[in-house]
A and B are shown apart, each in its own frame.
Chain A
Amino acid sequence: MILVENLSHQYGSRLALSNVSFEVKAGEIFGLLGPNGGGKSTLFRILSTMMVPSGGGAQVAGHDVAREPAAVRRSIGVVFQTQSLDKALTVSENLRAQGHLHGLSGPKLGERMDHVMERLGLADRRGDIVETLSGGLKRRVEIGKGLLHRPVVLLMDEASTGLDPGARRELWQYVEELRSREGVTILLTTHILDEADRCDRLVLLHQGRVVAEGAPADLRARIGGDVVVLKPAETAAAGDLAVRVETRFALKPAVMDGEVRVEIANGHRFITEVVEAFPGLIDSVGLHKPTLEDVFVRETGASIE
Chain B
Amino acid sequence: MSNTFWLPVVTLWQRELVRFWRQKSRVLGVVASPLVFWLLIGSGSGDLGRFFAGALVLTVLFSAIFSTISIIEDRREGFLLSMLVSPASRTSMVLGKILGAATLAWIQGIIFLAFAPLAGVSIGLVEVVAVIGAVFLVSFTLTGLGFVIAWRMSSTSGFHAIMNLLLVPMWMVSGSLFPMATAHGWIKIVMWVNPLTYSISLLNGLLKLSTGAPGIGVSLLVTACFGVALLLASGAVASKKSLVSNA
> A residues bordering B, Cβ < 8 Å?
11, 16, 41-42, 45, 48-52, 70, 73-74, 76, 78, 80, 82-86, 88-89, 93, 96-98, 100-103, 105, 129, 145
Contacts and interface: CB of A to CB of B under 8 A. Distances in A.
Nearest to B76: A82
Contacts, number: 85
Contact of B244 (A51, A76, A93): A51
B86 interface: yes
B244 A50 contact: yes
Nearest to B81: A84
10 contacts: A50-B84, A50-B243, A51-B242, A74-B87, A80-B77, A82-B77, A83-B78, A85-B79, A88-B18, A101-B83
A48 B84 CA distance: 9
Contacts of A103: 3-4, 7, 87-88
A135 B31 CA distance: 35
B15 interface: yes
B22 interface: yes
A85 B19 CA distance: 13
B83 to A, nearest CB: 6
Contact of B79 (A41, A70, A84): A84
B77 A105 contact: no
Given A74-B87, A88-B22, A98 B247 contact: no
Interface string B1-34: 0011001101110110011001100000000000
The prevalent SS among residues of B at the interface is helix
Contacts of B18: 88-89, 93
A82 B14 CA distance: 23
A243 B48 CA distance: 87
Contacts of B15: 86, 89, 93, 97
B77 A83 contact: yes
Contacts of B85: 48-50, 73, 76, 78
User: Contact size class for B?
Assistant: 20 to 34
B23 A88 contact: yes
Given A83-B78, A88-B22, A52 B242 contact: yes
B164 interface: no
B22 A102 contact: no
Contacts of A89: 15, 18-19
Nearest to B1: A103
A82 B241 CA distance: 22
Given A51-B244, A84-B78, A93-B18, 6 more contacts: A11-B247, A49-B85, A51-B243, A76-B85, A97-B79, A102-B87
Contacts of A105: 3, 7
A267 to B, nearest CB: 40
B182 interface: no
Interface string B58-80: 00000000000000000011111
A96 B11 contact: yes
B82 A100 contact: no
B247 A41 contact: yes
Q: Closest 5 interchain pairs by CB?
A: A82-B77, A100-B11, A101-B86, A103-B4, A84-B81
Contact of B86 (A41, A73, A96, A129): A73
Contacts of B3: 103, 105
Contacts of B12: 97
Interface string B205-222: 000000000000000000
